[in-house]
Amino acid sequence: MRIISKMGAGLAAVTMTAGIALAGNANQIVVDGSTTVGPVAKAFAEYYMGKHPGVNITVSESGSGNGAKSLINAACDVATMSRAMKNSEVKAAQDAGVLPIEKVVAMDGLSVIVHPSNPVANLTLAQIRDIYTGKIANWKDLGGPDQAIVIISRDTNSGTYESFQTLVMNQAKLTGKAEYVGSNGAVRQRVMSTPAAIGYVGLAFTEGVKALQVNGVEATPETVTAKTYPISRALYMYTNGRPKEGTPLFDFVNFCDTPEGMKIIQDTGFVVKK
Amino acid sequence: MRLQTRKVLDRAFAGSGIMAIALMVLALVILLAPMFVRGAGAIFFTGTVEHRRIMLEKFERGDRAAVEAEDRAARTAREPVYRDLAAFEKSLAEGDAATRRKYGKPLHDLKKAIHTLLGPAPDEVRPMLMRDQYGQARWDRAQVKLAQVLYREDWDYSDPTRAGIKRLKPRAADFVGTPIEGLFSYVERNLDKMLLPRRTVYWQFLTDDSYDSHFFGGIWPELLGTFYLTVGALLFAVPMGLIAAIYLTEYAPDNRWTRLLRTCISTLAGVPSIVFGLFGLAFFINTIHVSESKSVLAGSMTLALMVLPTVIRAAEEAIRAVPATFKEAALSLGAGRWHAVRSVILPAALPGILTGIVISMGRAAGETAPIIFTAAVSVGKPLALWQTLTQATPALSWNIFNLATEHEAVDEIRHVQYGMVLVLVSLVLILNLAAIVLRARIARRMRA
């Protein structure tokens, strides 16, 4: 008898906690997706939680592709992406009853980075394409030292990879020698420790590496805004449907339009959209 | 074989055995020693006045009057730096365009380097990111940043057929003949007055929230998350594992099916953890929706699946190791099968079962792959118990990986990463020690 009554009490406790947990959901924002948008999303979350202690915002950086999948499976509230959603993803979302709403958060330039010891300072888009298709395999063909080029790319789940494919590669296939790594930070570290390496990352990840000029233009906030830097792109946040005004979700997604949000975007190294 | 030869062979074997063990110990020391030394740097370090300011302003810790007095002293020592910079900037603005161009970029870089070292200038608008609001909080990092104020990296590319050569150029050389020429030696000589380094013990590293994505503060959300995940995994795995083990040893008929089942369990123990992780995402989150998104609950269940085979096998072995006479005696006294299991076999098998459980605990605490898709996030608050049902959490194993690879400022926060490694390794070591002690205690009680 005692055991049964104990179990009953336990069950009641479980239902109660479950009830509280469900009630608490409005104050929880789950952010998943791009590693490029990561620094901005994390800083937004921190700032917002500082102002609203009752809200818990979790941020994962698993790649834009995973962010989209997560949103389609209704497993996140905000998918951060460093590329626009593909038609196939939008379709999959609609089939799953999710209506992806796009919000441009900031602008970003894809920096092509090399080791600081590399004398090469400028590459044309065509040269970068040739490096990544394997046509140019040695730095000496680009006016550099006689060293085989170590090609670092993001993994195919990455929005940065997709942007690079569209903006630079014209969807040409990457050489089989390319090395795929899982995040912007990892590309940067790989290039930092490998003298003959080349890689591409978002603007916020160029500390300690040498960012090349592309077609003679340096990637700066000004050239990205003016679109004179040839590989510029937008960074996005996607939500399921338009968030209701006044909700934490609405505030979070639209935080990039506030003066504080713009300052954070600049301070993390990205470019405020016009 | 002659006796002599046998003796020699015997000794040779003993000798190589000792060698092997010595090598293992050496490897362990080489592995663990730097981990402990560098990890301890997260707690024991030389902190600057900036660290104490952060403690006061963010955690309301420390003597307010003392810290404010220190802050004033530091500001007084820094004052000439900002004054000279401002004066030089003003003279540039009033001077001719050529000079302005000449000093524009070097001055901009210098100001940035000084900002990183000492924090924002007194008249500067308060920056948004916390990393920009304070100067260097650790003296070791301050030394690195000081070098960046004094020198700039210059790469000599004069020979394009070879890799460039790094040269450190004193920044002072860029400003010869300007009013700020003396600023560099002033900063170098007076850095301790500007930052007031002092031996610091920061125990709260373990219990503080993290600030500005791990730039400042501690690792409490990660520690708590790892705790929740581990305990949660055991909550699921231990009852299920025990019941399965008891069934397999005491109740199941010994036929082909049971043997097949055992093989399956052994195979499950060898499945790579990432497979469990993906299964957890596909099954717990996307199919049966234990939670809407990643959550500690889903992560615990995934980890439980992963350690379940270990728990079952350990319990099975332990139960099998109980002499058959125990059970026979209990049964002959009229005990039922369940009664015999509960009052005779389980207590006798307890040490072995517990060892299995604690080893599983260590594994659950340390695994990364199963929680990537089911429970772990880069940034999140420490959770209250009831939130574990619906919310995801940072966890030590995952955040070590995150800080080592994905984080945008890896080099600035190595100490946090090492601190996390130290805590995780200590946690697993303590768990294993607990297993040994517990086992010895119970075994002693059983003998008595």
The average pLDDT across B199-222 equals 92
Check residue A21 and give its pLDDT.
Answer: 41
What is the structure's pLDDT at A50? 87
Would you say B321 and B310 are in contact if contact means Cβ atoms under 8 Å apart? no
Contact: A35, B410; criterion CB under 8 Å? no
Contact A122, A216 (CB under 8 A): yes
**Cβ contacts of A70 on chain B, cutoff 8 Å:** 293
Nearest in space to B365 (alpha carbons), one of B315, B447, B430, B412: B430
DSSP 3-state percent helix, strand, coil across chain A (nearest 5): 45, 25, 35
Strands A78-81 and A213-214: unpaired
All CATH 1.10.3720.10 domain ranges in chain B, comma separated: 220-447
* Token reading at B259: 């043997």
Asked if A145's CB is within 8 angstroms of B163's CB, the reply is yes
> B287-298 pLDDT, tens per residue?
998 988 899 999
Tell me whether residues A75 and B286 touch, CB distance under 8 A: yes
pLDDT > 90 in chain B, percent:
59
The DSSP call for residue B247 is: I
Separation of CA A40 from chain center: 9
Domain A2-107+235-267, CATH homologous superfamily name and number: Periplasmic binding protein-like II (3.40.190.10)
Q: Does A62 touch chain B (CB under 8 A)?
A: yes
Do residues B42 and B396 make contact, with C-beta atoms less than 8 angstroms apart? no
Report whether B142 contacts B47 (CB < 8 A). no
Which CATH code is given to the segment(s) A111-218?
3.40.190.10
A18 pLDDT higher than 90:
no
Q: Any chain B CB within 8 A of the CB of A150?
A: no
Dig out the tokens for B222 from the structure. 């990660």
Q: Which of residues 163-192 of A touch B (CB under 8 A)?
A: 182-186, 189
- Cα(B151)–Cα(B107) distance, integer angstroms: 13
Q: Do B410 and A185 touch (CB under 8 A)?
A: yes
The confidence band for A14, taking pLDDT boundaries of 50, 70 and 90, is very low
Residues A33-53: tens digit of each pLDDT: 999 999 999 999 999 988 888
Q: How far is B298 from chain A (nearest CA, A)?
A: 12
**In this predicted structure, what is the pLDDT of residue B124?**
84
Contact B378/A42, CB-based, under 8 Å?
yes
On average, the pLDDT of chain B sits at 91
Evaluate if residue A16 carries a pLDDT over 60.
no
Q: Tell me what pLDDT residue B305 has.
A: 95
Inspect the interface and report whether the beta carbons of A17 and B385 lie closer than 8 Å: yes
Q: How many CB pairs under 8 A join A and B?
A: 147
Asked if the Cβ–Cβ distance from A17 to B389 is below 8 Å, we say yes
Q: Between chains, do B378 and A45 touch, taking CB under 8 Å as contact?
A: no
Q: Binning pLDDT at 50, 70 and 90, where does residue B2 land?
A: confident
Q: What's phi and psi for A59, nearest 5 deg? A: -125, 125
Q: Do A2-107+235-267 and A111-218 agree at the fold level?
A: yes
Select from A35, A145, A204 the Cβ nearest to the Cβ of B161: A145
d(CA B424, CA B438): 21
d(CA A178, CA B180): 48
The C-alpha atoms of residue B249 and residue B327 are separated, in whole angstroms, by 12
Q: What is the pLDDT of residues B21-79, one digit of tens each?
A: 999 999 999 988 998 999 999 999 999 999 999 999 989 998 999 999 999 999 999 99
pTM here is 0.86
| Best to test chain A binding among B283, B290, B406 (most A CBs inside 10 Å) | B406
Angle B212-B215-B220 from CA coordinates, rounded to 5°: 80
CB-CB under 8 Å, A143 with B405? no
Phi, psi torsion values for B187, nearest 5 degrees:
-60, -45
Contacts of A115 in chain B (CB under 8 A): 163
* Residue with the two structure tokens 């890689």: A199
* 3-class secondary structure, B46: strand
3-state secondary structure of A197: strand
The ipTM estimated for the assembled molecules is: 0.81
Structural domain spans, chain A: 2-107+235-267, 111-218
Position A26 scores a pLDDT of 66
The Cα B209–Cα B381 span in angstroms is 8
Give A238-271 pLDDT, tens digit per residue.
Answer: 999 999 988 999 999 999 999 999 999 999 989 9
CATH number attached to the domain at B220-447? 1.10.3720.10
Chain B CA closest to residue A50: B211
